[in-house]
Structure 1
């Protein structure tokens, strides 16, 4: 792809940075959204959509989008308002959106409030604990990860996070009685470096997992919503949440190749299946044929 045009935008409490990968004149706009993952995570996926103008961005508090208010946590509502600002700054009318993980939660909140800005949303594995049957346990698990981070730093908290995201099936009410994973088991640091600004463990985990999508507002929005999960993610928290949202919307769950990061092509040292993933995304974005 051509070198992107990097732009900044002032928002309450943050300076947002986003990239415009210009496609052919008059081409449709595709906004690729993650959270807390920044724009760099979409480099491979964006390369499969050179026929479109692709937008990527760094969420507030991440990489090139520093918070200016000193807040320790970010709400989904703040993220949704940031997305609104970026789309409106483009001045391109309704855009198509692919949103993954926390970005999918934020994009659902955007559609709830400003559906006229989004033509089609593909929400890939939104990790909201509010919709799963084991809601209380999942909310407590996520709160415990955050508290572990504040108490002991990133190593112990990330060990718990990896164990949680790798697990299949509902969490029991007795989850706290289970053995605590060790950071060393995952090659994570065992010493606390004293920092507490991690965008996942500190800033976003409670707001994202604790957000309850407004199903009535989503149904009423003009946006076409496709809820998706990776075929390798079946039974895991994010896929279970996606399935529950799809069921509530009455749309059915769209299965994508690979796993939670199936679009990755080596970013952050992780590999999915980006080419078939991009093909499935292109199919999902296509409007359904007229009856």
Structure 2
């Protein structure tokens, strides 16, 4: 058990097939699950602390990332595996059905959960899911992803990140990329990064959502987009998903990581969206 600035945080570990999942719980009230991939629980901690004022908030390290250890480190991380992990965590807490806010790869996990275990969710907010399969230029996107992965595994870390941000249409100056990914780095960050490139990125971006299943589920599906993400690849994939589901996308403050950059503004907008439920 640890304490953040306002709430007690209960930490736990759940044994699931092939892995041991680290999770954290804050607050009391209706359950909200915050999930990323590859982002871990720490990335969501500021937002979780704000939501814990009137919710039970579950965060977790996805399988193979940080404190969630795998029996087989070479296992790929697929959306369906991560969705099963979320399902087991919700069952373990016995607090569902839940609101599930997933961002980036976590949004793909949340959509997979809504397809496979809809009884565990009543609202899914898929914030900028990188669903390249929904794009008309999917073949080009897949080829670029393969090139990024090959560049990273060949040892060119900054080169891989440079190509990644170019593919994502996120403009980062070269000195920023060098500062973030060059030189001495935290070993845990490097290990999680390598796992993402080697075992998670391809399976996540190539996941094909079942539009019919998502459209017929009793869960409310919200597609979220950062208001600073216009023209980026996750803006395009999110709009493609919203169009396929015949829903209007919902704008959130900031860009792809708006919940990290300004958690207060993000929490305010999230509460507005949930009040429409």
| CA positional deviation for 1:151 | 1.7
- Aligned residue in 2 for 1:186: 177
- Structure-2 separation of matches of 1:199 and 1:91: 31
Q: SS at 2:57's partner residue? A: strand
Note if contact 1:72-1:202 (Cα within 8 Å) is conserved in structure 2.
no
- Aligned residue in 2 for 1:3: 8
**After alignment, is 74-83 or 224-233 more displaced?**
74-83
- Which residues of structure 2 form unaligned runs of 5+? 1-5
Q: Is the counterpart of residue 41 in structure 1 residue 55 in structure 2?
A: no
- Structure-2 separation of matches of 1:182 and 1:120: 37
- Structure-1 separation of matches of 2:91 and 2:49: 24
Task: Decide whether aligned partners of structure 1 residues 279 and 185 sit closer, same or farther in structure 2, where only a CA change above 3 A counts.
Answer: closer
| CA positional deviation for 1:154 | 2.5
Q: Deviations over 1:174-226 (max 9, x none)?
A: xxxxxxx99777213289x9x77623222211011010111011011110011
Q: Is the counterpart of residue 228 in structure 1 residue 224 in structure 2?
A: yes
Q: SS at 2:204's partner residue? A: helix
TM-score (norm 2): 0.89
Task: Decide whether aligned partners of structure 1 residues 149 and 73 sit closer, same or farther in structure 2, where only a CA change above 3 A counts.
Answer: farther
Note if contact 1:122-1:285 (Cα within 8 Å) is conserved in structure 2.
no
- Which residues of structure 1 form unaligned runs of 5+? 169-180, 265-271
- Structure-2 separation of matches of 1:225 and 1:76: 17
- Aligned residue in 2 for 1:257: 253
Q: SS at 2:50's partner residue? A: coil
- Aligned residue in 2 for 1:267: none
- Aligned residue in 1 for 2:72: 69
CA RMSD, Structure 1 to Structure 2 (Å): 2.3
TM-score (norm 1): 0.85
- Aligned residue in 2 for 1:29: 31
More helix by share: 2
Note if contact 2:169-2:231 (Cα within 8 Å) is conserved in structure 1.
no
Runs of 4+ with deviation above 6 angstroms: 181-185
Superposed, which structure 2 residues align to 1:44-123 within 5 Å? 44-49=46-51, 50-123=53-126
Q: Is the counterpart of residue 164 in structure 1 residue 167 in structure 2?
A: yes
- Structure-1 separation of matches of 2:113 and 2:99: 12
| CA positional deviation for 1:232 | 0.7
- Aligned residue in 2 for 1:202: 198
Q: Is the counterpart of residue 148 in structure 1 residue 144 in structure 2?
A: no
- Aligned residue in 2 for 1:171: none
- Aligned residue in 1 for 2:234: 238
| CA positional deviation for 1:93 | 2.5
Note if contact 1:99-1:107 (Cα within 8 Å) is conserved in structure 2.
yes
| CA positional deviation for 1:162 | 2.0
Note if contact 1:262-1:274 (Cα within 8 Å) is conserved in structure 2.
yes
- Aligned residue in 2 for 1:275: 264
- Structure-2 separation of matches of 1:239 and 1:111: 21
